[in-house]
Homo-oligomer: A and B are copies of this chain.
Amino acid sequence: MADIQFSTMAKSLYRSEIRELLKLTRQPDTISFGGGLPDPAIFPYQAVEEASLKVIRERGRLALQYSPTEGEPFLKKQLIDYMERQGENVTATNMVVVASSQQGLDLLAKIFIDPGDPIIVEKPTYIGAIQAFRAFRADFHGVELDFDGIVPEELEKTVIRLLEAGRKPKFVYLIPDFQNPSGITLSYERRVRVLEIASQYDLIIIEDTPYRELRFQGESLPSLFSMDKEERVIMMKTFSKIFSPGFRIGWIMGPGSVIDKLVMAKQGTDLCTSAYISFLAAFLLEARQVDRQVVLSRGLYKVKRSVMLAALERFMPSDESISWSKPEGGMFLWLKLPDYIDTLELLKEAVEKNVAFVIGKGFFTDGSGGNTIRLNYSFPTEKQIVEGIERIAQLVSKRLRVPVMQ
């Protein structure tokens, strides 16, 4: 066998928990709180079937051919209309279609990050973003989250510290709505403040919003993208959470100069997104099936979230160092356990009891978060949620140190 010399990037690559857990979720006897998977019970199978017939019958010649790198025009038109229904104002030159949000992150890393470049992320933040940015050897600077999102004072301190060291951060990566992994939403006041800080220090913000439409409680807050008057916000969207992850369709909106570079980077990365899937997605958008699916998902996830919260209340031992977020939308709930509980050890036991979740540590860039867990409530059934939480709670109880009375 040949002596293979891999690149520095390859040497830093590791298998992610997400990937290993995607495998687990395919085993029918496992209760999975792992991946961020939509509930297959409400997938609009009939609508997809009908749209697929239209793809071949009405656009067959284009659908089986290469498509333009920036995105199939018919899909872009439907996406622009969809964004308009979401209150966002976008034009075709400010949008590129990508083959999933994850590809968007890879392309953004490509066009922004040189090895060692500082970037700012939430702490915790999306594990896939860490993977994409780490591959290009970004220097991560995590900023604390509380239940109202990223703490502006901490953000400003981090920016000042970096600027004083002559190291302007390439961008601030935020997930303001029902954040992955924490389920936390950035408050309106903080949105205003974050944009002020961005303006003051001339920062680029990447606003990743896969769950934004999935609000089932409280009032919707304007996106940073819509509030931005200075062309410094790049917004990322995906089909995966609002319709189907099986399509691999995402889109990025932002300043023309950034979109232009993303398109050029995409050329060498995969030449173009599937024309077939682009037309399929476009017909489903045109028929408002995506909008319908969002309404359906909201209703279902609200119930499931409430079932999970009730199960946590019921089964989790009372201990002041155990807490969890109360998401108003999205797919995830964040569970904090006492510092001395290593959730990786807990996961190993849980898997033996046929329950899976994602350990929180992978969402931190500084090795912390060893006592945290991300719980997904969109995929499991209500019955599974109750059973699964009960099993996890039992494992936690066993590890809980009884406080010594004084």
Contact = CB atoms under 8 A, between A and B. Distances in A.
A6 B246 contact: no
A264 B23 CA distance: 15
A277 interface: yes
Nearest to A279: B246
Contacts of A245: 64-66, 275
Interface in A273-296: 273-277, 280
B274 A2 contact: no
Given A111-B6, A168-B5, A265-B135, A272 B248 contact: yes
Copies of this chain: 2
Contacts of A8: 114
Closest 4 A-B residue pairs measured CB to CB? Answer: A131-B268, A2-B232, A10-B111, A13-B264
A203 interface: yes
Given A111-B10, A202-B3, A270 B246 contact: no
Contacts of A135: 110, 265, 268
Interface in A6-38: 6-10, 13-16, 18-19, 22-23, 26, 35, 37-38
Nearest to A10: B111
Interface residues of A, number: 93
B231 A2 contact: yes
Contact of A5 (B13, B49, B170, B246): B170
A155 to B, nearest CB: 16
Contacts of A274: 99, 246-248, 274, 277
B7 A110 contact: yes
A112 interface: yes
B2 A246 contact: no
Interface in A95-110: 99-100, 102-103, 105-106, 110
A268 B132 contact: yes
Interface stretch (A40-48, A81-89, A179-187, A330-338): A40-48
Interface of A: 1-10, 13-16, 18-19, 22-23, 26, 35, 37-38, 40, 43, 45, 48-49, 52-53, 55-57, 60-69, 99-100, 102-103, 105-106, 110-114, 117, 128, 131-132, 134-136, 168, 170, 198, 202-204, 230-232, 240, 244-248, 255, 257-258, 261, 264-265, 267-277, 280
B268 A106 contact: yes
A66 B102 contact: no
Contacts of A68: 19, 22-23, 26
A269 B4 contact: no
Given A9-B110, A99-B99, A246-B65, A60 B43 contact: yes
